[in-house]
Amino acid sequence: MAAPMIEIDRVAKHYDNHVAVAEVSFVIEKGEFIALMGPSGCGKTTTLRMIAGLDQPTSGEIRLWGRRLNEDAPWERDAPLVWQSYALFPFLSVRKNVEFGLKQRGLPAPERRKKSDEWLERLGISAFAERGVDQLSGGQRQRVALARALALEPEMLLLDEPLSALDPHLRVRMQAELVRLHRELGITFICVTHSHSEAFAMADRVVIMNEGRVQQIGRPQEIYRRAANRFVAEFVGGNNILSGTARVDGEAIELAGAFGTVRAPLPEGRTIASGEAATLVVAADRIELAEVRNGTGNEVAGRIATLEFVGSTVTVFLETDGGGELRVQRPLHDIENTPLSVGQPVVARWSPSLGFFLPG
């Protein structure tokens, strides 16, 4: 069986008494778009820097096609890094910035110019070739940084918070640009981000980290719909996390808490006993609102505490009759004909099959 392209094998990084990364292991296949995601200080950037060769692991191995990389210098890894700050040279023109890595590799000037002009054209910035980078917008600088890295025709491209310095509308456009480039080039992208929307919009798989450890690895929809633990369920957002006391009822479990009593299927691979504390997760966008109970599925009565409108989506925050809280997220067009207001009594309803119990 062929080795995966990149293997992160029990890699750890310590700084004196601080553990930045604690024995992380995962593999990356050729051509994947991988996003490393987590809160500040979780170890995602340190992991990227170790892949790039900028930091050395304290223990463990990083392998490329089965070959140990730990001692290889950054320039020996064929893995250019696009920085959050772009790291462009202000004293060079746009074209000279793109040519820089090619010059370091010893390509003759005519070849450097030809290759840099190809990438400037491909990224739609050839008109700025002779400008200084300080004359460019943030989005244009981002394209120059990408052109400089991609002109090297690398096996993999590393991106450290590549969109964080852009305005929101430019960020969305560059997300689409990165996805297009990844699809067309077929090279491996490894991207660090703290943004759920970026990771879920661009990546084939997402690696979620916290406190130096991998919490979950999976496709964006898998992570969003089936969090591996409470941290992931809270971090990805959009989830209601309901804690209470369980009671086994045939093929389901009833959970009683401040929200009332709700049901969910028995969890796979785990036994929950009656009287045990348990935690149920139900996504906010899987809950519907109604004016009255109808006796089907899970029904939780409450009153609207606040309404949050974000574009075409509205998030309704409920205070349940038992003193709990519940979040419901609906498309705006669902509620345009039935106006909602703060203080209004409503019933939140969802099918028991749409909830799942967290392990542990």
Enter the pTM of the model.
Answer: 0.89
Share above pLDDT 90 across residues of the chain, in percent, rounded to a whole number:
61
Q: Is the pLDDT of residue 230 over 80?
A: yes
Q: Which residue has the higher pLDDT, 84 or 290?
A: 290
Q: CA quadruple 289, 294, 300, 302: dihedral positive or negative?
A: positive
Q: Are residues 257 and 333 in the same domain?
A: yes
Q: Are residues 182 and 135 in the same domain?
A: yes
At which of 198, 230, 262 does a domain end? 230
Q: For residue 222, what pLDDT is reported? A: 94
* 299: CB partners within 8 A, 6+ apart: 293, 347, 348, 349
CATH number assigned to the domain comprising residue 176? 3.40.50.300
- State pLDDT tens for residues 2-58: 679 999 999 999 998 899 999 999 999 999 999 999 999 999 999 999 999 999 999
Q: Let me know if residue 77 belongs to a domain.
A: yes
Q: Is residue 140 part of a domain?
A: yes
Residue (of 98, 220, 83, 231) closest to 158 by Cα position: 83
Nearby residues of 336 by Cβ (< 8 Å), 6 or more positions away: none
Residues 187 and 282 in one domain: no
Write down which residue in 230, 253, 271 finishes a domain: 230
Q: Looking at the structure, do residues 242 and 222 belong to the same domain, yes or no?
A: no
Same domain, 165 and 252: no
Clarify whether residues 212 and 290 are in a common domain: no
Number of domains in the chain: 2
Decide if pLDDT at 332 tops 90: no
Whether 271 has a pLDDT exceeding 90, the answer reads no
Phi, psi of 102 (to 5 degrees): -65, -40
Residues 75-85: what's their mean pLDDT?
86
In a shared domain, residues 56 and 187: yes
Give the per-residue pLDDT at 337. Answer: 76
DSSP alpha helices (H): ranges in the chain?
A: 44-52, 94-104, 109-122, 138-150, 168-185, 196-202, 220-225, 230-236, 332-335
Provide the domain limits for residue 297: 238-357
Report the DSSP beta bridge partners of residue 28: 6
At 275 the three-state DSSP class reads coil
Q: What was the pLDDT predicted at 84? A: 77
Picking from 166, 121, 122, 120, the residue whose alpha carbon sits closest to that of residue 144 is 120
CATH number, domain at 290? 2.40.50.100
Give whichever of 19-28, 106-115, 303-312 has the largest mean pLDDT: 19-28
- Average pLDDT of the chain, as a whole number: 91
Query: Is residue 1 situated within a structural domain?
Result: no
Output the six-digit token pair for 103. 């010059």
What residues contact residue 345 under an 8 Å CB cut-off, 6+ apart? Answer: 301, 302, 303
Does one domain contain both 12 and 142?
Answer: yes
Q: Read off the pLDDT band of 1 (50, 70, 90).
A: low
Per-residue model confidence as pLDDT tens digits over 165-200: 777 777 888 888 889 889 999 999 999 998 888 899
Is the pLDDT at 127 greater than 80? The verdict is yes
Boundary of a domain, candidates 230, 253, 279 = 230
238 in Cβ contact with 225 (< 8 Å): no
Across 324-330, average pLDDT: 92
